[in-house]
Structure 1
Amino acid sequence: MTTVTSEAPASTPRAVREPPVWRLCLARAGVELRQFFRERTAVVFTFALPVVLLIMLGSIFDKQISESGIPASQLLVAGMIASGIGSTCFVNLATSITSDREDGTLKRLRGVPMPPIAYFVGKVILVLVTAVAEVAVILAVGAIFYDLPLPTDADRWATFAWVFLVGVTGCALLGTAMSSVPRSVRGAAPIVNLPYLVLQFVSGIYIVPITTLPGGLQQLGAVFPLKWMAQGFRSVFLPDSAADMEVAGTWEHGRVALILAAWCLAGLVLCLTTFRWQGRKDG
């Protein structure tokens, strides 16, 4: 009698589930944060530059009292917060993405099963974390050395929150779009830093009050978001009487929100139309 043996069918391998997008985004953010904080030189420069400028300028203008009775050094603190956010989210992001494009990081990421949004979310989380840390350091210096009064009511902190978030978003989008301009990472620093340095002066970051600037420079600075970020932060940390030193004589919260939101939209459009995953030499 012949025995018939039946073989069990070979088990098919289970399909590997891809991790959810949010987890990939967090994983990429972790990579970005680790890479940033391992570069000690970049960390020190990022956090020290606005603090050093604040201390130097604050020491120069410490004895000057504005017409509203507010020390000029306190006027500088709010401007330096805006400047620090712009430097972190615009300058650093533009140069870092340019570096990623030139060394082939962007090209390699396009070849792995990772959604493109994970890369951008990782960068946004990086600049958000560094911007929060930088603002905390600047506020600490302003409160300790220049008696900057910190708000005690929720409305002012709410104003701080939306100015901060909209400002970070706009600067991050503009920095991402700006990364497509330099041809190489060597040219990124001067191409990005030079216009930003000029923008800081025409936005009244280093010159207080802003009404001391020539009218033409005031109008030029009013086109860009940095001036409105600084004005929004001044409305948070300075008394209402300080609004007399603004160009319009008021804080103009509505206009601040409108212009910052418009730059967020413009930055998004520029990112969608100009961003490149490969360098020019790669075709």
Structure 2
Amino acid sequence: MKLTELNIGEFSLTWLRGGLTQLDGGAMFGVVPKPLWSKRYPNNEHNQIPLRADPILLRAGGKRILIESGIGNDRLTEKQKRNFGLQEESQVLESLQSLGLTADDIDIVLMTHMHYDHANGLVAIIEGRPSSVFSRAVIYVQEQEWAEMREPNIRSRNTYWEENWRPIQDQVHTFGSELAILPGLSMHHTGGHSQGHAIVRMESGGELALHMADLMPTHAHQNSLWVLAYDDYPMDSIYAKEEWIKPGIRDGAWFTFYHDAIYRAVKWNEQNELIQSVPVEFAE
């Protein structure tokens, strides 16, 4: 299995195969009219757009770190598979195997938030019971996100599932506004998409990468005003994008993606022109 890689200084990033869904394009682009967003991102006859759920294996500071966890396997009902347009379940463990690794080799998992499409891969059903997949890893989650995960409201209970937090609760470490994981690697609370949404900043050897998670799920969401109908706090999403994307572009940052079905990572210039990209490519 050939996997896409990118180096950020001494940091090595490898995208694992975590699954593929197709969600409604209108929901993913909020109030942006289809004639505008459809020029930027592919869609099918049902108005659905392809969205991957591919974790990043980050090798940094002698640690093996996952950013996100994938859509999981056998975690969705038949109804959910239809509603979420499931096309492909997770191959994260097979991806790790192709690198000579297992789930036990993962030291740290960075969760930008705990919606089902990011967190399902943390748990597998073994002998009928939900069990932790990366049982040796420390799992970092923003404290407000973890609190809502365990006590969701009437809106969020559809995406925060009890079976996704109970098996991992002893592994979870929470943080507030920001957290330094390793030198050059940090998580930052942004809110917006969810109350506890966070992003990941990676800097090494004079190079910078920003993992904006669901504040910018695809390259077509670069515009600060193009936010999701799924965002719980859309104005916070807009402010966070203004705070991070424009300075990141000025600093020559790579922007990495979990959901984008076209690009793994991109760079823009200050005229918002795409100047470098790492495409999504698959080969067995």
Same fold (TM over 0.5): no
Write 1 or 2 for the structure with the bigger share of strand: 2
Task: Give the TM-score of the pair, scaled to structure 2.
Answer: 0.26
Structure possessing the higher radius of gyration over alpha carbons? 1
Structure of higher RCO (CA pairs closer than 8 Å, 6+ residues apart): 1
Write 1 or 2 for the structure with the bigger share of helix: 1
Task: Give the TM-score of the pair, scaled to structure 1.
Answer: 0.26
